[in-house]
Amino acid sequence: MKREDYLTTGQIARRTGITIRTLRYYDQIGLLNPSHYDHASLRMYSKEDLIRLQKIQTLKYIGLSLNEIKQIIQDNSLPIHDLRSSLVM
């Protein structure tokens, strides 16, 4: 991917309204790690990272803890339709 395909932490924060501090915390706890770091150690996020962030925010909105969210997102055996069904309920 080219550099233009990535967004920095600041760009993500401006587009989503999530603070830079929160994004850095998510990286620190392993919830949302950037796909790439550039030569200046800037965190660079891909479109897939943005999708993951949307999932995190949705699960957070419905009241799950960050630990629960991390388990759900990292559990690749959890079918997406089960997650979707849970959100509908």
Q: What is the DSSP string of 36-57?
A: EE-TT--EEE-HHHHHHHHHHH
- Answer yes or no: are the C-beta atoms of 50 and 87 closer than 8 Å: no
Domain ranges of the chain: 3-88
Average pLDDT of 41-47? 88
User: Which fold is adopted by the domain 3-88?
Assistant: Multidrug-efflux Transporter Regulator; Chain: A; Domain 2 (1.10.1660)
Neighbouring C-beta atoms of residue 78, cutoff 10 Å? 13
H or E, element range at 79: none
Look at 65 and 86; give whichever has higher pLDDT.
65
Q: For 13-35, what is the mean pLDDT?
A: 94
Q: What pLDDT does residue 85 have?
A: 62
pLDDT in tens, 2-15: 767 899 999 999 99
CA dist., res. 10 & res. 17, Å (int): 10
Q: Which amino acid is at 15?
A: R
pTM (two decimals): 0.77
Structure tokens at 7: 């967004």
Average pLDDT, the chain: 85
